[in-house]
Structures are given as structure tokens and as C-alpha cells.
Structure 1
Amino acid sequence: MKPSSYSPQYDSLRTWMKQKREESGLSLRAVAEIVDRHHSVVGKMEQDRRKIELMEFIAYCQAIGADPHEGLDILLCSPKGSR
């Protein structure tokens, strides 16, 4: 099984994450402070430079007021993500 963290589905998820963060009006540093991580960690999650851990993803979504189910649907509903 190939690692999936750099798949097109994850690209779509990262795009969604950044869009939702920007819509919330929060900077990377503000989100990082809320989730108690360094801002570079949050930035790397959005920039395809770090694996997105599930609990970090949920905390990120809570920090920006986004529904994590919406983000997971991106992974589950994409054509290449189906089995």
C-alpha cells in the first residue's frame, strides 16, 4: 500500500483546510496558538510538507470553526479514494 498523505485527495483536503482557515479570519499563528503547536507545524500541514495526523486535524477544525466531517468527506468521496 502506497503512503496516501501526498495523494491528490490530501491535496484537496489541504486546499479545503487553508480555505476554511482564511474564511475564519485566522492566521497560521493564531490557529497554532489555539491548538498549542508551533506555527510552522500548522503551515506544513497546509503546504504538503507534513503528514496530517487525525487528532491534529480535528483540533485544527475546531480552532477554525470548521466541521471535520466536511474535510473527511473530501477524502472519502473523491473518485481516487474509492475502493
Structure 2
Amino acid sequence: MAKTLGTARHKALIALLIAKREAAGLTQTELATKLGEYQSFVARLESGQRRVDVVEFLELARLLGFDPHQAMDHVSQVRD
């Protein structure tokens, strides 16, 4: 399997997560607090330095109030 960091799909996922966080009116620090993490954790996700695993993605969807199925449909349509 090819590396996924930095691919078009990974970038689309990051852009989606940033947009959803901003739409929820949360800063990185506020989201990190809700996740029980440090702000740097969210910063690394949003800068593309680390992958988002499935469980993290589902928790982000819950906290930010978006449908994870629709989000994955959107990301899956992006071509690398």
C-alpha cells in the first residue's frame, strides 16, 4: 500500500476537518480539550503530520456535529 500522508484524499480529509471545526466555532485548543488531548494533537492532525484513525474520526464527527458517512463519501470521491 502506498503512503497516504500528503495525498489528495488526505488533504481533502484535513480540509474537511478544519472546516467542520471552524463551523462549530471551536479553536484547536477548545477541540483538543473536548478530545482530552493537547492543542498540539489537533495541530498535528490539521497540518497533515499524522493520520486520523477511524475511531478518532468518529469521535471528531460526534464532537463537531457532522455525519461521518457523508464526510467519507466526499473524501472517497477525491482522486489522488
The match for 2:9 is 9
Q: Among all aligned residue pairs of Structure 1 and Structure 2, give the percentage whose two residues are the same amino acid.
A: 24
The match for 2:55 is 55
1:47 shift after superposition: 1.0
Looking at structure 1, the residues matched to 43 and 57 of structure 2 have their Cα atoms a distance apart, in angstroms, of 12
Looking at structure 1, the residues matched to 72 and 13 of structure 2 have their Cα atoms a distance apart, in angstroms, of 8
1:27 shift after superposition: 0.9
The match for 2:23 is 23
TM-score normalized by the length of structure 1: 0.84
Unaligned residue ranges in structure 2 (runs of 5+) = none
1:79 shift after superposition: 3.1
- Amino acid paired to 1:5: L
Looking at structure 2, the residues matched to 7 and 45 of structure 1 have their Cα atoms a distance apart, in angstroms, of 14
1:56 shift after superposition: 0.9
Unaligned residue ranges in structure 1 (runs of 5+) = none
Looking at structure 2, the residues matched to 79 and 47 of structure 1 have their Cα atoms a distance apart, in angstroms, of 20
| SS of structure 1 residue aligned to 2:37 | coil
Q: Which runs of 4+ in 1 moved over 2 A?
A: none
1:53 shift after superposition: 1.2
Looking at structure 1, the residues matched to 15 and 43 of structure 2 have their Cα atoms a distance apart, in angstroms, of 12
| SS of structure 2 residue aligned to 1:79 | coil
| 1:32-71 deviation per Cα after TM superposition (whole angstroms, max 9, x unaligned) | 1111111111111111111111111111121111111122
Count of matched residue positions in the alignment of Structure 1 and Structure 2 = 80
